[in-house]
Amino acid sequence: MSFALNQQVLVLNRLWQAVNVCSVRRALTLLFEQHAEVVDGDGQGDFKTYDFRQWRHFSQNSHADDTVGTISFRIRIPRVIRLMGFDRLPKKEVKFTRHNIFERDKNTCQYCGGVFDRKDLNLDHVIPRDRGGPTTWENIVCSCIPCNTRKANRTPAEAGMRLVRKPKRPKWRPFIQVNFGVPVHDSWKHFLDLAYWNVELGEEVR
């Protein structure tokens, strides 16, 4: 019983954006107090919402095993809930990581425009570090190995090369980081991106 109540539930804001995770215990409390509703999918990308009364009734007609019991009834464990009166997003910026640079540049060499597997891409300082080029969003781009070799320790202009687009700091998008040890329910994947390469980059980037 305590294990079931401590499982994690994905929390969406009123605009259906993932903003947090909470325990089943907390989710059922929010549901009972009418601060949230359950979001339940059919596995095909279609979702319905239920208030506490509706979810309790739905649970009675369900043969699912993932339920918790009270003195008088059993209720299904919600996997995703939606807050009724919260439409904000956490205030945070996109982390400056290898994964997010590849995401920003769409696995595309910013010099020749070719799309590559990530193993065939490097991260290049547009202005070389020994020329004072910083390790920032605005000075790091994806580069294929041939272009990286050709550019060497020069500026694009010195190497006779041009950037496909000027590198910029990306805008933040809804994102929740989930510990890898936590099983993620299938219904989460419609609302959630999992971080798997999420180490902040520093001056060690070559």
Return the pLDDT at 54.
92
State the average pLDDT over residues 119-140. Answer: 95
First to last CA, the chain: 51
For domain 93-171, give the CATH number.
1.10.30.50
Residues 73-111: tens digit of each pLDDT = 788 889 999 999 876 655 556 788 898 899 899 999 999
Q: How many CA atoms are closer than 13 Å to the CA of 135, on its beta-carbon side?
A: 12
Compute the distance between CA of residue 60 and CA of residue 82 in angstroms, rounded to an integer: 22
Q: Which long-range contacts (CB under 8 A, 24 or more apart) does 36-39 make?
A: 36/11, 36/81, 36/82, 36/83, 36/84, 37/81, 37/82, 37/84, 38/78, 38/80, 38/81, 38/82, 39/12, 39/78, 39/80, 39/81, 39/82, 39/187
Return the pLDDT at 199.
40
Return the pLDDT at 2.
59
For residue 98, CA distances in Å to 41, 103, 109, 123, 205 come to 33, 9, 14, 8, 9
More confident site: 206 or 34? 34
Q: Given a cut of 50, is residue 205 above it in pLDDT? A: no
Q: Where are the domains of the chain?
A: 2-90+175-190, 93-171
Average pLDDT over all residues of the chain: 81
The sheet with strand 18-23 has its strands ordered as 18-23, 8-12, 80-83, 36-41, 47-50
Q: Given a cut of 50, is residue 124 above it in pLDDT? A: yes
State the average pLDDT over residues 108-117. Answer: 96
Residue 140: pLDDT band (50, 70, 90) is very high
Residues 28-83: tens digit of each pLDDT = 999 999 999 999 876 666 788 999 999 988 888 766 667 777 777 788 889 999 99
pTM exceeds 0.85, yes or no: no
Q: Given a cut of 60, is residue 179 above it in pLDDT? A: no
